[in-house]
Amino acid sequence: MSVLSRWSFPTEIRIGAGCVAGLGDLCRRHHIERPLIVTDPGFADLPAMAVVLAGIDLPVSIFQDVQPNPTGSNIEAGVAAFLAGGHDGVIAVGGGSALDAGKCVALMARQTRPMWDFEDVGDNWTRVDPEAIAPVIAVPTTAGTGSEVGRAGVVINQAEARKVIIFHPGMLPVAVLADPELTVGLPRVLTVGTGMDALSHSLEAICAPGFHPMALGVGMEGCRLVFEHLPRVAANPGDVESRMQMMAAAAMGAVAFQRGLGAMHALSHPIGAMFDTHHGMTNAVVMPYVLQANASAIGDVMERLGAYCGIAGGTQGVIARVRELRTALGVPDTLVELGVDPTAVDRVAAAAVVDPSAAGNPTPLTIDRAAGIFVAACTGRIEDLGVT
């Protein structure tokens, strides 16, 4: 009997207010005695870092040279810090950038090949020496990327000016501590941007054509949680319960996109690499335009999502809800408002169609289709994509 699909679900997740206090015991359980904390400068100086450190009764060093869109040079510097300190594991603390960087540092700490050899293309992942991967414990401080339950990291190849997905199953963190109290001080713009990123993961996953009914169900609930709880968190940053629900939604989105992603991510990856835009906010801007462009192929699943989330009107109803949510949260309507140059259409479209996420789009992402979505997202003219 042939294998129709291969499914993989993630790691141990501890979620709840105050759970980060058990970090030291968790390290010892996974034989980490000298961890390197990988984080970003924005978090390293916040009071929440003191809370994280209070939960670790082990000798640690902190590496914080991680840009908002991590680069290959950031990973190289992190590996140098890992080796110089004689570390045996990584605690990745922060948003998606810090988590991706931490996983890549752990992957590369003792490899003999360059990181770009492990780009998520074909079977490149088999080039990795799995025994050389250091264990990672993930402590997310945003609710969006879901990198804490992912097996990849996104890094900018500076020489080629493009975002590259580095993948290996062994990059999956051995454990996750999702403490919503660590997200309370997050600036509103990052709460919104990361939350919309979580929505993009679940939305694209349920629209992808792959056969993965478990991920489809997870993605449906992930969408519902964001629709319900992101507005609450934005309105009341101290709502720990809704922040916990958003952390669950973020992890669920990343689990769901095992089913596939699509044009939202295929476009946001090159846009972020070229214009240094926030990944989640970029996804938020292109979201309704991609849904509209895919309308002919997603009617059934949008009907089901609408029935589950109390949204009438099928695909157009979901698009309207997304646009209402963006307006309420202050998300820009166009890419130009993010600082994107609309004349870059040819470069963005050419990069989008070869991005690994493009393969999961429910309609073929041709250069013309990618260019059309990009132009509409720059002008705000969603009607130019047609109504189905």
Q: Chain-wide mean pLDDT for the chain?
A: 94
Residue 7 lies in a domain: no
Burial class (CB in 10 A: 0-12, 13-18, 19+), 51: middle
Q: How many domains does the chain have?
A: 2
Q: Are residues 177 and 193 in the same domain?
A: no
Residues 339, 289 share a domain: yes
The answer to whether position 5 is within a domain reads no
Pick the last residue of a domain from 150, 166, 182.
182
In the prediction, which pLDDT does 387 show? 54
Identify the domain boundary among 139, 154, 182.
182
Q: Which of 257, 256, 259, 234 is nearest to 246 (CA)?
A: 234
Residue 6 in domain:
no
Range of the domain at 335: 188-385
Same domain as 128, residue 230: no
Residues 257, 124 share a domain: no
Contact predicate 13/178, CB 8 Å: yes
- Per-residue pLDDT, 3: 54
Residue 364: give its domain's CATH number: 1.20.1090.10
- Same domain for 221 and 124: no
Supply the pTM of this predicted model: 0.91
Radius of gyration of the chain (CA): 20
89: helix, coil or strand?
A: strand
Question: Is 169 in the same domain as 253?
Answer: no
- pLDDT for residue 286 is more than 60: yes
Is 79 among the domain residues? yes
Pair (202, 167) in one structural domain? no
Q: Is 4 part of a structural domain of the chain?
A: no
Same-domain pairing of 126 and 172:
yes
In the chain, % of residues over pLDDT 90: 87
Determine the pLDDT at residue 186: 87
* CATH value at residue 98: 3.40.50.1970
Q: Is the pLDDT of residue 228 over 50?
A: yes
Residue 360 lies in a domain: yes
pLDDT at 1 over 70: no
- If asked whether residues 300 and 374 sit together in one domain, one would say yes
Q: Which two tokens stand for residue 39?
A: 């984080």
Q: Which helix (H) or strand (E) holds 276?
A: none
What confidence tier does 388 reach under pLDDT thresholds 50, 70, 90?
A: very low
Residues 180-198 pLDDT 10s: 999 998 899 999 999 999 9
